[in-house]
Chain A
Amino acid sequence: MTKYDAIVVGAGHNGLANAAYLAKAGLKVVVLEKNPWIGGAAVSREIQDGWIYSNCSYVCSLLRPEIFRDLDLSRHGLQIVPYGGGVTCTSSGDILGNYTDHDVQRREFARHNARDGDAYHRYSTDVMRQCRFIRPLLLRTPPDPTSFRVRDIREMVYLSREFAKLGEQVIYDTIRFYTMSIADFLGEYFESDLVKAHLSGSGIIGTALGVYSPGTAYVLLHHYMGEVDGSSGAWGFARGGMGAVSKALASSFKSFGGEIRTDCDVDQLVVRGGKVRGVALANGDEVHADIVVSNLDPKRTFTKLVNEKDLDPAFVERARNFKIRGSSGKLNIALDGLPTFPALGPDNPLRFGDMHFIDSLERLERAYDDWKNGTWSKDPYLDLLIPSMTDPTMAPPGKHFMSVFVQYVPPKIHGRDWTDADRDAFRDTVVEQIARHSPDFKQLVRHIEVRTPRELENEVGLTEGNIFQGELTMDQLLFNRPFPGYAQYRGPVKGLYMCGSGTHPGGGVMAAPGANAAREILLDLRKPNTVPEGWTDD
């Protein structure tokens, strides 16, 4: 039986990025994926003939450009196409458009509140300042603030210096920002409830917190810190759906001699003498390597993959307490034609962008109340896009693919498991909200794939269906992600590493956790580093 230098468990995009960097450094690497397909939550699947669904993630911005270039993803077929702007349709038939053009956008905000039109400028400057602080940290391993190793001290010094560069006032702002609610943050800039409702969506996506919960301002930043071709905060489609990202990473990995095995459910980590020896598959086979990298979320890794008896009790407790609450769902819809949205009209360019239907903070908070009460939001926040309007590969000509992300959806219904009847009722709630804004929508529906946290957990392996592999709150960010003392991608057993979104810098299709983990593994192996570090702007 062949022995590998490293096994990566899970062919999510981070597992693939990790594997690519290890293979690039000359290691013999195999990726083991339980599903018949690769990609995890960055996947495209043809569930309806002729329709490609981005089944989970659907838009791209966070993918680090340094990795894109370094792994030659363009040559491996990846193309990111920007889409423009977004819009909130109000219950009275009006809209708030977030146009890409600066002046049009200002006029649109001013149409709802004269002052808010001008305030957007200050808002985006301040958010940009926070982005500039966080971006250099994405492709860096967080230092351990309690360790006194030279490297950690050096990194702490670097961090403090970057922090000091912000200036006194901005430091205060930054500390507040990381602990604020998105509603409070937006309240410092805007008066219009509609404007605030529109912008706050990014603060709650994927997060089991409400617009008034502390910590949601950071979640907004997490959605702004990306870019498309240097256009900060811009989002785009991966041509061919989000699976194109995983496909390109896999192709890059293979070009370095890597091997991927699908339909390969890993049951257990094999630990002998306190060291990792490989993994045991569900079918009873074993695969051997002294390094095993887990792409699974930390909770799953340490409560399922690793036998808890191989771990210290305190560590097991941390893993069990890791905050990974499911709060999102998704509808993927095949359409026989393009639905109309009368509030937008036939020629509004925002039809190509993201659409939302919740027009007040109050409604957003009520949506969160439903989640707390153990049910999906009866008036949910939707992030709706029709990628096929931009990407011709997604559906046959004249037909369309609609991606509808839904917040909030709980992992359990009143404490019990989801049933198929629940799932259908959830689907109907979402469909009705869309139909209220698009009269011809329902009759165009050909097929709907419904994803509740149950489906997300069963299929992608995201515990509780949490899309980020763990909440993005201060207690689980930077050197606290996933747990204090374990933020440098090393597990508690020698030879075990973590590379999924549950590690720094967190969720989203970013590939940074995978790349950062590879850097650490190569360091332990005393191999030359193949992973880009820092960032390319100034």
Chain B
Amino acid sequence: MKPEMNHKLHFRTAVYQTPFHPRTSALNVLNEWHRWKDYTTADAYFDETLEYAAIRNACAVFDLTPMTKHRITGPDALAFLNRLVTRDVAKIKPGRVGYCVWCDDNGQVIDDGTIFHLRPGDYRLCSQERQLDWLARSARGFDVSIVEDTHDVAALAFQGPTTCAVLKKMGLAGVEKLTPFGIGFFPFAGGELMVSRTGFTGDLGYELWIEPGRALALWDALFAAGADHGIRPMGTHALEVSRIEAGFVQAGVDFLPADAAVRIDRTRSPFELDLGRLVDFTKPVFTGRRALLEEQRRGSRYRLVKLDVEGNKLARSSYIYDRARNVVGTVTSAVWSPAAKTNIALASLKMPWGRPGDELWAEIYYQRELQWAKVMARCRVIEGAFFDPPRRRATPPADF
């Protein structure tokens, strides 16, 4: 059920349970939880390595409910969103999802997220951070309604090569026709289940959205259908590995949301996050446009790059040096990629460093049996995702 938080005694439950909690808690034999905004959420259920393996090999379920959601409707919904984000929202047709970023007046990224065009003129905006303040401020002059409905929608990420087979088995007729970033609605347990072909793993996968009262029915149906297809629950740790392999940035990790920056030079523009493809200057107005045009003219300050780091020691939070041993940036995310069998990292580098072929070194501190050591590891800038299987795009997807 939907947890009721809008009352005076909410402090008694500082951290709430999602509607899936009866199931997730039963499966979380490690009892490893952390806090994601209003909710408690699993770090790992039984073995994070095996949970990750399920994403790439079979299918894995992640409780996505705490993700911030806003519902945007009204005559000016499209015009408003087009003012808000840097890409052209008119191109996101009903039944489609678009990844986007939004900036402050200085062209610095406030957050990234996804716009779901649910039905004509009816949008959902998902984001890392709460955005009501910024959305309301941006909405002045627009005839639009903005409601934060995080708690009204229970959601699961369902990711991996056997996901389509499982959804078909669940009876979602035609789900295989969904192309990447497509949305479908299916009757379910007397209500409606929304399925989007989206995810944070860079693999074949879906996200399932349902009214909280039907959350447990969804979980049960999914696990029943998935029993013969290797279904596993996955926690945040497993998701994090696949997220970095896919090369996705995360707010608060790979960049600081502009409205949270006390030190004003800590922010990044979309170009500086390698998200320039999301900036559409053919739109005559959007917030940050003037500043971003100016940045194009003058050049960016930073570049976000994907690095292939020599050796097997994680370059977590490492300084990156140039050939002359000057610090040119830092690693923001790093992981050993089990899929690519590569030591990988996302790093924010000062311009002009980070061109393909640049000689870069990561300073890595690592521990072996309680003893610390340091290596300088050679890094290679690579383009595209670290792991990008063709099944991610195939429509209809194969059964495994």
Binding site for B on A (CB under 8 A): 94-95, 97, 99, 101, 103-104, 106-108, 110-111, 114-119, 121-122, 125, 128-129, 132, 166-167, 169-170, 189, 345, 347-350
Contact = CB atoms under 8 A, between A and B. Distances in A.
Contacts of A108: 10-11
Given A121-B129, A125-B262, 9 more contacts: A95-B8, A97-B11, A99-B11, A103-B15, A114-B132, A115-B133, A117-B130, A119-B132, A132-B263
B6 A111 contact: yes
Interface string B261-296: 111110000000000000000000000000000000
B37 interface: yes
B133 A121 contact: yes
Contact of A118 (B11, B131, B264, B265): B131
Contacts of B91: none
A121 B128 CA distance: 14
A107 B10 contact: yes
A122 B110 CA distance: 11
B351 to A, nearest CB: 19
12 contacts: A95-B8, A103-B14, A116-B133, A117-B130, A118-B133, A119-B133, A121-B260, A122-B259, A132-B262, A167-B264, A170-B264, A189-B133
B244 to A, nearest CB: 26
Given A121-B259, A125-B260, A129-B262, A349 B131 contact: no
B262 A107 contact: no
Contacts of B9: 345
A106 B130 contact: yes
Contacts of A128: 262
B8 A94 contact: yes
Contacts of A99: 11
A106 B260 CA distance: 15
Contacts of B7: 111
B130 A121 contact: yes
Contacts of B211: none
Contacts of B394: none
A97 B8 CA distance: 9
B325 interface: no
B264 A166 contact: yes
B224 interface: no
B342 to A, nearest CB: 35
Contact of B132 (A95, A111, A117, A349): A117
A125 B132 contact: no
B152 interface: no
B341 interface: no
Given A128-B262, A347-B12, A107 B133 contact: no
Contacts of B148: 114
B90 to A, nearest CB: 27
B7 to A, nearest CB: 7
B30 interface: no
Interface in B339-354: none
Instruction: Give the size range of B's interface with the partner.
Output: 20 to 34
Nearest to A99: B11
B375 interface: no
Nearest to B15: A103
Contacts of B262: 125, 128-129, 132
A170 B148 CA distance: 30
Closest 4 pairs (CB-CB, A-B): A118-B133, A119-B133, A118-B132, A118-B130
Interface of B: 5-12, 14-15, 35, 37-38, 106, 129-134, 136, 148, 259-265
Quick one: which of A95, A125, A349 has the most chain B CB within 10 A?
A: A125
A119 B136 CA distance: 10
A313 to B, nearest CB: 47
Quick one: which of A108, A118, A166 has the most chain B CB within 10 A?
A: A118
A24 B264 CA distance: 40
B259 A125 contact: yes
Contact of A101 (B14, B133, B265): B14
Contacts of B106: 169
Nearest to A345: B9
Nearest to B35: A103
A431 B362 CA distance: 65
Contacts of A169: 106, 264
A104 B132 contact: no
B40 to A, nearest CB: 11
Contacts of A115: 132-133, 136
B260 to A, nearest CB: 6
Nearest to B12: A347
A118 to B, nearest CB: 4
A103 B66 CA distance: 12
B261 A125 contact: yes
A130 to B, nearest CB: 10
Given A117-B130, A118-B130, A121-B130, A104 B260 contact: no
A83 to B, nearest CB: 16
A114 B5 CA distance: 12
Quick one: which of A103, A106, A122, A132 has the most chain B CB within 10 A?
A: A103
A349 B13 CA distance: 12
A499 B262 CA distance: 32
A104 B10 contact: yes
B258 to A, nearest CB: 10
Nearest to A189: B133
B152 to A, nearest CB: 13
A111 B8 CA distance: 8
A95 B9 CA distance: 10
A122 B131 CA distance: 11
A103 B37 contact: yes
A205 to B, nearest CB: 24
B128 to A, nearest CB: 13
Contacts of A125: 259-262
Contacts of A103: 14-15, 35, 37-38
B218 to A, nearest CB: 26
A177 to B, nearest CB: 14
A165 B133 CA distance: 27
Contacts of A117: 130, 132
B132 A107 contact: no
B166 to A, nearest CB: 34
Nearest to B136: A115
A488 B8 CA distance: 51
B14 A104 contact: yes
A101 B16 CA distance: 14
Given A117-B130, A125-B259, A104 B264 contact: no
Quick one: which of A99, A104, A108, A122 has the most chain B CB within 10 A?
A: A104
Nearest to B36: A103
